[in-house]
Structure 1
Amino acid sequence: MSNDKTQDTATSTTYDSVDPLREQYRETLITNRALTRALGTHHAAMLCIDLQYLDAARGWGVFADAERSGLPPESQDYYFDRLENTVLPNVRRLQDGFRSLGLEVIHTRIQSLTQDGRDRGPGHKRLGLHAAPGSKEADFLEIVAPQGDEIIINKTASGVFTATNLEYVLRNLNVTALFVVGVYSNECVSTAIRDACDLGFYVTLIEDASATVTPELQRATILTMKDRYARVMSTDQALAEISKVEEIAD
């Protein structure tokens, strides 16, 4: 019995590190020429998810009452330290890079159509998530707020593609590739990535421009998304790639 158990453990360990479809996915996501063409023809856009006072600011929205937020103090400290010191500065760097090249920067946020939130999705009603039009909770964080006439998509569910007309807007813009940032990595961000991938968009997740409430959930999200639903890049890598847009176009 012990030998069988040892053998099962060894087999499990071996298969844990094997992904039989890795190369196929890498070929379609990482080295795909269509993605390169999307950049070169300005058919790439940056998608910024839910960087607002409701869920990304100390003392507001979900975190208005720290004790009732459901997160222990250490999780809140981790989340906000990562946001303030890493994610938000990187998002802004990326936004500036996309803007300088004339590439679309698109913003999503949680915001109801009504003041009482009666139009919200069932999930948001159960969770008590509500950002009324004109409320502080619906405001974007200033450092990464929309500029000019950048597109804003309001939603009342986790999945921006299922709850809004985002796909329609992207098709009208001829966008075929998305660089995704925002919060929470394991919820609204990963849902958007999965849906975008299924809809045929080429998706890149910016690892150091996304955040969630624990390092374990962040790592799990990256592991799940990487080379399966999206490429995973750092901010520096993404900026280096988009900086070549003009020479790709040539």
Structure 2
Amino acid sequence: MNAIDTGTAALVVIDVQRGLFDTRPPPFEADAVVARINGLADRARAAGAPVVFVQHERDGSPLAFGSNGWSLESSLRQSPRDYVVRKTTPDAFLRTGLADLLQALAVDRLVLCGYASEFCVDTTARRAAALGFPVTLAADAHTTHDKPHLDAARIRAHHNATLPDISSFGVEIRAVDSDAIEFSRAG
């Protein structure tokens, strides 16, 4: 394995919540994606890198704040040292404290994973790059549901191929399989 060292990164896990994963059918490769996220989180914590869980909420829906559906997916491994950010749009930075949290933690790059590839993962990756954060997209640790126009595997493949082609933000976005991502903390 040729490991990708992410430097002073935070792992940001987007919307891996019961209301999105405990569905019939579940998201594409749901169990494998959660296992990969757990592996990433374990490596991040072992290196002292922050782990941030982002949770979407919408009143009157299965993702209503505090509801069972809003809760993180039950097989995600969590630590009391992890951080939680609540959001109401596909952009994990918009009207949240994520940018301030990352600055306080001296994070200068992000590893992103979670749900949904074409909405919250894509939007957050683009916004992070626009804010100057290089992004490593865990290519096999984000997912979505099949859509009428395209199945989830191709949606994920599309985002893994197109996000790294964006250079106009001035920072790199790369898509790397989760087993090639290692974390380290400076100082």
Task: Classify the TM-score, shorter chain.
Answer: 0.7 to 0.9
- Match of 1:231, as an amino acid? R
1:185-210 alpha-carbon deviations (Å, 9 max, x no partner): 11100100000000000110001111
Which whole-Å CA distance do the structure 2 matches of 1:52 and 1:88 have between them?
11
Unaligned stretches of 5+ residues in structure 1: 1-34, 59-65, 67-75, 118-127
The runs of at least 4 consecutive aligned structure 1 residues that moved more than 3 Å come to none
Larger of the two Rg values belongs to structure: 1
- Output the aligned Cα RMSD: 2.2
The aligned residue for residue 99 of structure 1 is: 45
The aligned residue for residue 149 of structure 2 is: none
The aligned residue for residue 215 of structure 1 is: 153
- Match of 1:194, as an amino acid? R
1:27-58 alpha-carbon deviations (Å, 9 max, x no partner): xxxxxxxx97x71xxx2110000000121222
The aligned residue for residue 230 of structure 1 is: 173
- Residue 129 of structure 1 deviates from its aligned partner by 4.4
The aligned residue for residue 83 of structure 1 is: 30
1:124-168 alpha-carbon deviations (Å, 9 max, x no partner): xxxx74523321011101222531131100111111111312111
Matches within 5 A, 1:1-250: 39=7, 43-58=8-23, 76=25, 79-80=27-28, 82-84=29-31, 86-111=32-57, 117=59, 129-213=61-145, 214-228=152-166, 230-239=173-182, 242=183, 245=184
Provide the TM-score with structure 1 as the length reference: 0.63
Provide the TM-score with structure 2 as the length reference: 0.83
Q: Is the strand fraction higher in 1 or 2?
A: 2
Instruction: Report which structure shows greater RCO (CA 8 Å, sep ≥6).
Output: 2
Which whole-Å CA distance do the structure 2 matches of 1:163 and 1:219 have between them?
29
1:36-82 alpha-carbon deviations (Å, 9 max, x no partner): 7x71xxx2110000000121222xxxxxxx5xxxxxxxxx36x34x1
Unaligned stretches of 5+ residues in structure 2: 146-151, 167-171
- Residue 184 of structure 1 deviates from its aligned partner by 0.5
Q: Is the 8 A contact 2:87 2:94 kept in 1?
A: no
Q: What is the aligned length?
A: 173
Which whole-Å CA distance do the structure 2 matches of 1:129 and 1:157 have between them?
14
Residue identity over aligned pairs, in percent, reads: 27
Q: Is the 8 A contact 1:107 1:146 kept in 2?
A: no
